[in-house]
């Protein structure tokens, strides 16, 4: 993730699980996953500036209810990096988080925020720490952190920490929809009917909108049926996307955010307008995923 020109603002993109297979479970209770994930040009934003004293604030449409202390992953990321580098190299900073993504909604918002904080602080503090070092610190904060640090199309395996970035993957036009329904990730995993599903099939050799859509039809999100049982609003979001013309629709992560795949950005924007008109209280965002060679900047 790169800062915007002449500013210290970092994008914390939404993480979208295009496909997510649950293929096992470790002895410690962590589930083993096989997932294709992409990251979008829409997301939260972090502004990081030197300050006399550490400060952390949250603004934006989903600021309400966000913890401001040690329970926030951004604050935990700041302190984890400070502990790693030492207080003499990590001067006080003011961090403002613009929360544009729904909280606990299956798009990795908190993990992406923390990843942006790690990357941004490492650059601001001019720390001699490489991507592997940041990923090690991030993994201690959450299994999604390493992939959010990459913020590029990738296959994630293990508990989400074994990453295979894709050398080539096109940008996809997406519409994200969340009906404001909450879904508990632990409850979704508890409700799984089975945990030993088959892994993802190989990706097609030629990657474009049509081959990716066809490949997705042969994959699943194994968490989606359990989430729909717990929260029927997930099904309503999927219906809204299909009614608006999505070529493919699925829930991301453990929910409740769902995504629709559209052939062009203009079609996606029109679909988002249509869904907002029918469901004015919902979170709806038209966006594009970042290509394999993107670096997280707007």
CA pair distance 1, 79, nearest whole angstrom: 20
State the DSSP code for 245. Answer: T
In angstroms and rounded to an integer, the radius of gyration of the C-alpha atoms of the chain is 19
Q: What is the pLDDT along the chain (298 residues), one digit of tens a residue?
A: 544 433 499 999 999 999 999 999 999 888 999 999 999 999 999 999 999 999 999 999 999 989 899 899 999 999 999 999 999 999 999 999 999 999 889 999 999 999 999 999 999 999 999 999 999 999 999 989 999 999 999 999 998 889 999 999 999 999 999 998 878 889 999 999 899 999 999 999 999 999 999 999 999 999 999 999 999 999 999 999 999 999 999 999 999 999 999 999 999 999 999 999 999 999 999 999 999 875 443 3
Find out whether 246 and 177 touch, Cβ atoms under 8 Å.
Answer: no
Per residue in 46-98, pLDDT tens?
999 999 999 999 999 999 989 899 899 999 999 999 999 999 999 999 999 99
Residues 6+ apart with CB under 8 A from 216: 18, 19, 248, 250, 261
Q: Which two tokens stand for residue 88?
A: 């003499």
Note the pTM of the prediction, 2 decimals: 0.93
Give the position of tokens 């410690």: 28
Alpha carbon distances (Å) from 85 to 73, 79, 122, 128, 131: 18, 10, 9, 9, 15
H-helix or E-strand containing 157? strand 154-158
CA pair distance 243, 3, nearest whole angstrom: 38
Per residue in 198-207, pLDDT tens?
999 999 999 9
Q: Whats the size of the chain, residue-wise?
A: 298
Q: Assess whether 54 carries a catalytic annotation.
A: no
Q: What's the pLDDT at 4?
A: 42
* DSSP line for 86-117: -GGG---EEEEEE--SPTTSSS-HHHHHHHHH
Cis geometry, peptide bond prior to residue 256 (ω within 30 degrees of 0): yes
Helix, strand, coil percent content, the chain, rounded in steps of 5:
30, 25, 40
Find out whether 276 and 270 touch, Cβ atoms under 8 Å.
Answer: no
Q: Assess whether 15 carries a catalytic annotation.
A: yes
The one catalytic residue in 34, 113, 119, 144 is 144
CA pair distance 65, 103, nearest whole angstrom: 9
């Amino acid at each position: 993730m790169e800062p915007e020109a002449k500013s210290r603002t970092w994008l914390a993109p939404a993480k979208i699980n295009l496909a997510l297979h649950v293929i096992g479970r470790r002895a410690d209770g962590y589930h083993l996953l096989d997932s294709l994930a992409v990251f979008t040009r829409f997301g939260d934003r972090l502004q990081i500036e030197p300050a006399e004293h550490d400060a952390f604030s949250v603004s934006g449409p989903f600021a309400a209810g966000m913890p401001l202390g040690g329970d926030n992953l951004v604050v935990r990321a700041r302190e984890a990096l400070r502990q790693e580098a030492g207080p003499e190299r990590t001067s006080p900073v003011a961090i403002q988080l613009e929360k544009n993504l729904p909280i606990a909604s299956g798009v990795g918002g908190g993990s992406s925020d923390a990843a942006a904080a790690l990357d941004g602080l490492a650059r601001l503090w001019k720390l001699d720490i490489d991507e592997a070092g940041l990923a090690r610190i991030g993994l201690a904060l959450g299994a999604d952190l390493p992939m959010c640090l990459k913020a590029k199309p990738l296959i994630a395996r293990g508990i989400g920490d074994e990453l295979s970035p894709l050398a080539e993957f096109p940008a996809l036009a997406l519409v994200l929809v969340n009906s404001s329904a909450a879904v508990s990730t632990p409850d979704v995993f508890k409700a799984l009917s089975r945990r030993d599903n088959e892994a993802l099939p190989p990706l097609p050799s030629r990657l474009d909108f049509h081959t990716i859509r066809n490949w997705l039809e042969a994959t699943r999100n194994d968490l989606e049926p359990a989430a729909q049982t717990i929260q029927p609003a997930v099904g309503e979001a999927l219906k809204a996307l299909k009614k608006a013309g999505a070529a493919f629709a699925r829930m991301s992560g453990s929910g409740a955010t769902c995504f629709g795949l559209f052939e062009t950005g203009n079609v996606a924007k029109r679909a988002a307008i249509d869904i907002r008109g029918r469901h004015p209280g919902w979170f709806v965002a038209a966006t594009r995923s970042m290509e394999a060679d993107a670096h997280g900047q707007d």
